[in-house]
Amino acid sequence: MAFISGRNSWLAFMLGMLIGFFTIFLLVHNITHSFRVNAPVAIRSWKTIEDMALLEKVPHVHQPGSSKVSDDLSQKVRVLCWIMTGPSNLYTKAIHLKYSWTRHCNVVLFMSSTTNTSFPTIGLETKEGRDQLYWKTIRAFQYVHKNYYDQADWFLKADDDTYIVVDNLRWMLSNYTPDQPVYFGKRFKPFAKQGYMSGGAGYVLSKEALNRFVKGFDTGVCQHTTSVEDLALGQCMEKMGVIAGDSRDTEKRETFHPFPPESHLTGHFDKSFWYWSYCFYPIVEGPQCCSDLAISFHYIDPTWMHGLEYLVYHLRAYGYDHRYQPPLPEAAGRLPVTHEKKPAPDIKANETSSS
C-alpha cells in the first residue's frame, strides 16, 4: 500500500507540473501576442493580387514648400531608374521598390527576362540566372538609349534589393553635367585600371557614358566576355574612355554601399573578407562609415524598403539641425531646367535590341 500511495503521489506531482507548465506557456504566449503589431494592410497585402492596389495608398506626402530645393533639382538633374528584376521577384521584391523609393525618379522602368504588361516590366528576351546579368544589363541600357535617351540626363541601374535615396543622388550629380563621360557608384579596384562600380550598390551613367556604352557594342569594342556584370561594364567603360567618378561626399565619406546600413554602421569586416581588397577607397567602420547624404544600400529586406523610406523622408529629432548641410554645388545653378514630359513608348517584347 505504501508503494501504491507513493506512486500515486508521484503521478499527481508530475501531472501538476505538466498542467502548471502548460498554463504558464499559454499565459506567456497570450501576453506576447497581445503586444504584437501586424504590418499595415497596405504593406502586407501585396501577396494577394486583388489587394495590390492598396499599396498605392502607402502615403508619401510633404508639406507645401518643404521640398522646394529637391523639386527644383529634379527638373535640372533628371534621373531615369531602371530596376534589374525577374518574374519570380515581381510580387516579393520589386513591388516594394515600385511603391517606395522609385517614386522619386523622373522615369522608372522594371527590366525582366519577359514582359509583364500588368506590373509592368520590359521583357529583354533573356534567360534568368546570375549568368544572364550582363546580358540583361546590356539590353536594358540599349533599350533605354533607344526609347528614353532624351527623357533623362542620368541613367541609374539598381537591383530589386537595393534602396536608393534619389534626392541625395541628384545632389551629388548636380556638380557634373550629363555631357561628361563619367559614371558613379561604389568603386572597387581589382581587374580594371581605374576600377569599376559594384553592381549591388547600384551605379549611374551620364548621358554621354550611356551613349559610349551602347556605341561600344555597336562597334565591337565591347563584347560579352563574362557574366560578372559590374566588372564587365567597368571594363567596357574603361575602353570607351568613360571615367570612374568619385562619389564620396565633401568629407570623403562613402555614399554608395554594397551592404545594409547595419553592416556598415555596427558590423565588423574580418581582415580576410574580400571587401578589404576590393574597395578603392579606405574602409571606415562604425558611424563615420557612411555619408549623411548616403545614396544607396544593398541587401535590403523587401518590407524594409518602406521602413527606410520613412526614416529618410519623415523621421527627425525635434529641435536639431542636420550636422552635415553642404551647399548646393555652384554648377547646379548653371544646369538647365527641363519641364517637358514625353509619353513612354508601348512595352513590347520585340522592342529590345539583341547583342
**Full set of structural domains in the chain with CATH:** 68-351 (3.90.550)
| pLDDT at residue 5, as a whole number | 53
| Residue 22 binned pLDDT confidence (cut-offs 50, 70, 90) | low
Q: What is the largest CA-CA distance in the chain?
A: 103
Q: What is the DSSP string of 228-289?
A: -HHHHHHHHHHHTT-EE-----TTS-B-B-SS-HHHHHT----TTSTHHHHBSS----SGGG
Asked if the model's pLDDT at residue 311 lies above 70, the reply is yes
Asked if the model's pLDDT at residue 250 lies above 50, the reply is yes
Which of residues 355 and 196 earns the better pLDDT score?
A: 196
C-alpha cell at 143: 533599350
Contact between residue 95 and residue 343 where contact means Cβ atoms under 8 Å apart: no
| Residue 222 binned pLDDT confidence (cut-offs 50, 70, 90) | very high
Q: In angstroms, what CA-CA distances link 191 with 195, 228, 231, 234?
A: 7, 11, 8, 9
Which of residues 195 and 351 earns the better pLDDT score?
A: 195
| pLDDT at residue 352, as a whole number | 40
Q: What is the mean predicted confidence (pLDDT) over 52-76?
A: 68
d(CA 173, CA 207): 12
Asked if the model's pLDDT at residue 2 lies above 60, the reply is no
| Residue 70 binned pLDDT confidence (cut-offs 50, 70, 90) | confident
Asked if the model's pLDDT at residue 295 lies above 80, the reply is yes
| Residue 325 binned pLDDT confidence (cut-offs 50, 70, 90) | confident
| Residue 67 binned pLDDT confidence (cut-offs 50, 70, 90) | confident
Helix residue spans in 35-110 (DSSP H): 41-44, 68-76, 95-98
Instruction: Estimate the share of the chain in helix, then strand, then coil, as percent rounded to the nearest 5.
Output: 45, 10, 45
Which of residues 37 and 206 earns the better pLDDT score?
A: 206
Q: What is the mean predicted confidence (pLDDT) over 3-13?
A: 57
Q: What is the mean predicted confidence (pLDDT) over 11-15?
A: 61
Which of residues 287 and 214 earns the better pLDDT score?
A: 214
| Residue 34 binned pLDDT confidence (cut-offs 50, 70, 90) | very low
Asked if the model's pLDDT at residue 313 lies above 50, the reply is yes
Which DSSP category does 87 fall into?
A: G
Q: What is the mean predicted confidence (pLDDT) over 174-199?
A: 95
Contact between residue 169 and residue 189 where contact means Cβ atoms under 8 Å apart: no
Average pLDDT, the chain: 83
| Residue 66 binned pLDDT confidence (cut-offs 50, 70, 90) | low
Asked if the model's pLDDT at residue 120 lies above 90, the reply is yes
Asked if the model's pLDDT at residue 41 lies above 90, the reply is no
Residue percentage of the chain with pLDDT more than 90: 59
Residue percentage of the chain with pLDDT more than 70: 77
